[in-house]
Amino acid sequence: MSKLDEMGTKLRKLQLRAAIAKMKLRDLAEDLPGKWTDIEEVAEEGSAVFAELEGAKREFAEMKKLR
């Protein structure tokens, strides 16, 4: 498997994790104000996943350019 293929696989996995994080945020919003204590934890988790996804997207784009 080439580096580009590996990066594509990583990107797809991150996209799935980001979608799950987005659903967790939405579910949390629906449960407010009851679960207000979970806001920080869920937001930090979502932020970390989306930051990792953005970095992977940039890296993948650079790899495709150099190809």
Which CATH number do you get for residue 21? 1.10.287.660
What's the pLDDT at 28? 92
pTM for this entry: 0.83
Structural domains counted in the chain: 1
**pLDDT tens, 15-64?**
999 999 999 999 999 988 998 899 999 999 999 999 999 999 999 999 88
**Containing domain of residue 52, as a range?**
3-66
| Alpha carbon separation from 60 to 10, 13, 32, 36, 47 (Å, rounded) | 10, 13, 37, 37, 20
What's the pLDDT at 43? 94
- In the structure, what pLDDT confidence band is assigned to residue 13 with cuts at 50, 70 and 90? very high
**Structure token pair of residue 55:** 């970095």
What's the pLDDT at 3? 87
